Amino acid sequence: MTRMTRMTRTSGGARIVLLAALPFVLGLVADLAVYATVRDQLPDRLARHFGADGEADGYVGHGGFLAMLVAVFVVLGAVSVFVVLRSDFATYRRGLRGLLAVVYATAAFLAWPMGASLVANRGTADGAAAVFPLWHLAVAVGIAALAAGAGAGLARCVPLSDARSPLGADAQGGADRIDLGHNEIAGWVRRTGSWMLSGLGVALATAGIVTVWLTDEGWLTPLSLFVPGLLIASFARACVAVDRRGLTVSPGLVPWPRIRLPLDRIESADTDTRRVNALADYGGWGYRIVPGRSGVIMRSGEALVVRRANGKDFAVTVEDSATAAALLNTLVDRVDQTGQAGRAGQAGQAGQAGQADGADRGTAPQDGWR
């Protein structure tokens, strides 16, 4: 790597970190500026949460509000920077564009309601008298959409390539096969998953259960935590199988839904030995669909990459993918050979039928066909 290339990557990486942290810094500064402007007109007890009717139903002091404000933006900004540093976005503009769009939209969607809640408390004797019109949420959504566009546009300020190397570009060459007899059968099964997603699902489900006992907010909040947590935990692990039916990927805890690619719809299989990055390559975890490819991405790392008959790739992150690819290629070759033999047999039968027909008519068919 040349000195100029190293300098470009270092400069680009620093610029990406700055862009990832910038919206949260701006959101925090904007809300602090609003607080400083209306501070003398605020009651001692501030309304921090409002119900569906716009009436206040949660309160906090000045110090608590400022601590919450700073914590939200600092933590989310740190998470954004962490994701950038761990996701190899320094070489891939399309992934960075999507990330910055989400980051800027999130910061804007949080900053507006927090600032608007301060304005709602202004001039009241107590936070209980504050009213938060719901049209502020519509405004927040609109501002978030504009911020998402700005974030995606700022990705062009970073000197990056427009495309990342395709999956399989650094894969093991030669499309290995397994020495399997004509009458022999074989299968390959592996389980893959993400302990991070499993932990997140369990944590959310547990939080939903605990919320039932510790709060009196009804069932909406507990269910909004428990149901997503249960779904995440159920799909955090997957079973990957290669056999005479093709490639099958199914959830580890529930029997449905499952993805199956029959052998006759597979062109070839290979293993991507470079580190497949869940965020940079697919924009997240789970079943992902991006232009030109799809996959079950449970974690970053080694992946089995299947080229489908329609020209698109399907990937699943799993260990020992080289063995799976070799067996899958062997089974696909067997199907192709069987199909060729079947077509040759049909052609031979057609030729014999043509010759017999020609003999009956007293004329010889050309090349077995009429």
d(CA 259, CA 15): 40
* Lookup: tokens for 214: 């510790």
DSSP class of residue 39?
A: G
Q: Are 17 and 89 in contact (CB under 8 A)?
A: no
Q: Residue 351 has what pLDDT?
A: 52
Please write the tens of the pLDDT for every residue from 68-95.
999 999 999 998 888 777 665 544 555 6
Helix (H, G, I), strand (E, B) or coil at 167: coil
d(CA 190, CA 240): 5
Of the candidates 311, 331, 333, 313, the residue with the CA atom closest to the CA atom of residue 271: 313
Query: How far from chain centre, in Å, is Cα 335?
Result: 33
Q: Residue 9 has what pLDDT?
A: 44
Please write the tens of the pLDDT for every residue from 190-237.
999 888 788 888 888 888 888 777 666 567 778 888 888 888 888 889
The reported pTM is 0.61
DSSP class of residue 300?
A: S
d(CA 45, CA 128): 8
Q: Are 143 and 108 in contact (CB under 8 A)?
A: yes
The tens place of each residue's pLDDT in the chain, 370 residues long, gives 444 334 334 445 678 888 889 999 999 999 999 999 999 999 999 998 888 888 888 888 999 999 999 999 999 999 888 877 766 554 455 567 778 888 999 999 999 999 999 999 999 999 889 999 889 989 999 999 999 999 988 887 776 554 444 444 444 444 578 888 878 889 999 999 888 788 888 888 888 888 777 666 567 778 888 888 888 888 889 999 999 999 999 988 777 888 999 999 999 898 876 578 787 778 778 888 888 889 999 888 889 999 999 989 999 999 999 999 999 999 998 887 766 544 455 555 555 555 545 444 444 433 333 2
